[in-house]
Structure 1
C-alpha cells in the first residue's frame, strides 16, 4: 500500500518535470502538434512513457512490487510501442506502420494459454484497435489524458478485485504519470501527448484489461471492455459513421471527432474535456460494477445505449469534410489562386 502511494507520487512528479524539461528540445527539433490553432510541443508523450516505465521497472527490479512475467513483458512491449509512436511523431510515418507495430506487440503480450486461440486473436485485434482509438482521442487539450486517467483507475480496481497486484501497480503508475502530464496539457495546452504518449497509453490500458478479463466468458468480457473504454469506442464509432458512407479515408485526421463536434455546438474547450471525462467515468463505473458483480450485466447495456444515443446525436452536427491528401492540396491551390486574383484586382 505504502509503495503504491510512493510510486504514484513519484510517477506524477517525474512526468510533470520531464514534460517541462523536454519542451525546449521538442521546440528546437520541430516536434510539434500542428492540428490545433497554435503549435504545441509534443513533450508529454515521452514524459508519460518514461515515468511509467522507470517507476514500474524500479519496483519490479527491487522486488518491492514485482510485476510478474507476463506484466513485465507487457511493460517492455509498451515501451516499444511508445518508441514507435515517437518515430511517428518525428518522421510522420504512414498510418499502417503504428497499426502493424501495435498488432505485433499485442500478439506477444496476449495470454493465449488463457484466452485460447480464437479469443486471443480477438484480443490482439482489440488491443490494436483501442490503441489507435486512444491516438484519435488526442485531438483536444486534456482529453486523452483525462480519459486515460479515469480508465486506468477503473482497470486498476478490476485488477485489485482479481488480486493482480502487478497490473494494479502498473495502472496506478500510468494514471499518476498522466495526471502529472495534465498539469501542462490543460487548456490552453503547453505540451501535447502525441503518438508516443497516446499509443503507449492505449496499448498499456488495452493489454492490462485483457489480462484482467482473461479466463472470463467472451460475451461478458466484451461488455466490460466496452464499458471501461466507452468514450474511445464512441469516438471511433462516430468517425466511422461519418466517413464510411461518404467514402472518406478512415485513417486520415480530421475535425469530426467527439471533441470537434461538441465545440461546433458552442461547448467551451475545458467543458468538452469535463463532459467527455464524466462520460468516461460513467462507463468505467458500469464496467467495474459488471466485473466485480456489484451489478448485473444489464448496466453495461445501459452504458452502450447512452453511447449509441450520443453518437447518433453528434453525427448530425455538421463538420468540415475530411479530404484525401491530393484533393486537399488541389483545394488549397484553388483557394490560393482565388485569393491572388482578388488581390490583383
Structure 2
C-alpha cells in the first residue's frame, strides 16, 4: 500500500516536472500542434511515457513491485509504441506505418495461451483500434488525458479484483503520470499529449484490459472491453461515418470529432472535456460492475445504445463549412449586390 502511494506520487510529480521542462525544447524543435490559433508543444506524451516506464521499472528493480514476464513485455512494447508516436510527432508518418508498428507491439503482449490463435488475432486488432482511437481523441485540451485517467482507474480496479498485482500497479502509475500531465493540459493547454502519449496510453490500457479479461467468455469480454473505451469508439465511429457521408477522404483531418461538435453546440473546450469525461466514467463504471458480476452482462448494451444515440445525434451537427469556391462565389455575389 505504501509503495503504491509512493509510486503514484513519484509518477505524478515526475510527469508534471518533465512536461514543464520539455515545453521550451518542443517549441524550438517545432514539435507543436495548432489548436484554435495556438501552438501547443507536444511534450506531454514523452513525459507520461518516461514517468510511467521509469517508475514501474524502478519498482521491479528494487523488488517492491516485481514485474512478471507479461508486464515487462507490456512495458517494453508500450515504450516502443511511444517511440513510434514520437517519430510521428516530429515528422509526418503514414498511417499504415503507425498501425503496423502498433500491431507488431500488440502481437508481443497478447496472451495466446488463454485466448487461442483466433482470439489473439482479434485482441491484436482491438488493441490497435483503441490505441488509434486515443490518438484521435487528442484533438482537444484535457480530453484524451481525462478519458485515459478514467479508463486506467477502471482497468486497474478490474486487475486488482483478480489479484493481478502487476497490471494494477502499472495502471495506477499510468493514471498518476497522466494526472501530472493534465496539470499542463487543462484549457487553455500549455502542453499536448501528442501521438507519443496518446498511442502509449491507449496501447497500455487496451493491452492491460485484454490481459485482465483473458480466459473469460468471449462475448461478455467484448462487451466489457467496449464499455471501457466507449468514448474512443464513439469518436472513431462518428468521424468515419461523417467523412464517408460527406465524401471526404477518411484520413484527412477535420473539425468533425466529438469535442468539435460539442463546441459547435455552444460548449467550451473545458465543458466538452467534462461532458466526455463523464460519459467515459459511466461506461467504465458499467464495465467494472459487469466484470465483478455485480450487474448483468447485458448492462453493456445500455452503453452501446447510449454511444449510438450520441453518434447519430452529433451527425446532425454540420462540422464542415462551405468549400472555398463556394465562399468565393458568395463574396462575389455580395460585392455585386453592394454595388
The reply to whether residue 295 of structure 1 matches residue 331 of structure 2 is no
1:254-333 mapped onto 2 (5 Å cutoff): 254-320=254-320
Which residue pairs with 1:326 in the alignment?
Answer: none
How far residue 299 of structure 1 moved from its aligned partner, in angstroms, is 1.3
Aligned 8 A contact 1:152 1:205 in 2: yes
Aligned 8 A contact 1:248 1:322 in 2: no
Whole-angstrom distance in 2 between the partners of 1:304 and 1:273 = 20
Which residue pairs with 2:241 in the alignment?
Answer: 241
The reply to whether residue 80 of structure 1 matches residue 94 of structure 2 is no
Which residue pairs with 2:146 in the alignment?
Answer: 146
SS of the aligned residue for 2:14 comes to helix
Aligned 8 A contact 1:252 1:322 in 2: no
Deviations 1:278-337 (A, max 9, x none): 0000000000000010111121111111111111111110011699xxxxxxx59x97xx
Aligned 8 A contact 1:254 1:321 in 2: no
Aligned 8 A contact 1:253 1:322 in 2: no
Aligned 8 A contact 1:228 1:287 in 2: yes
Which residue pairs with 2:57 in the alignment?
Answer: 57
SS of the aligned residue for 2:246 comes to coil
TM-score between the two structures when normalised by the length of structure 2: 0.94
Which residue pairs with 2:165 in the alignment?
Answer: 165
Which residue pairs with 2:66 in the alignment?
Answer: 66
Whole-angstrom distance in 2 between the partners of 1:116 and 1:207 = 16
Which residue pairs with 1:98 in the alignment?
Answer: 98
Which residue pairs with 1:135 in the alignment?
Answer: 135
SS of the aligned residue for 2:38 comes to coil
Which residue pairs with 1:192 in the alignment?
Answer: 192
Which residue pairs with 1:11 in the alignment?
Answer: 11
TM-score between the two structures when normalised by the length of structure 1: 0.93
Deviations 1:9-28 (A, max 9, x none): 10000000000000110011
RMSD (Å) for aligned C-alpha atoms: 1.8
Which residue pairs with 1:227 in the alignment?
Answer: 227
Aligned 8 A contact 1:254 1:322 in 2: no
How far residue 114 of structure 1 moved from its aligned partner, in angstroms, is 1.1
Distance 1:151-1:107 versus aligned 2 partners, 3 A rule: same
How far residue 34 of structure 1 moved from its aligned partner, in angstroms, is 1.8
Q: Which runs of 5+ in 2 are unaligned?
A: none
How far residue 249 of structure 1 moved from its aligned partner, in angstroms, is 2.2
How far residue 42 of structure 1 moved from its aligned partner, in angstroms, is 0.7
After the TM superposition, which segments of 4 or more aligned residues of structure 1 sit over 3 Å from their partners?
A: none
Which residue pairs with 1:118 in the alignment?
Answer: 118
SS of the aligned residue for 1:39 comes to strand
Q: Name the count of aligned residue pairs.
A: 331
Aligned 8 A contact 1:227 1:300 in 2: yes
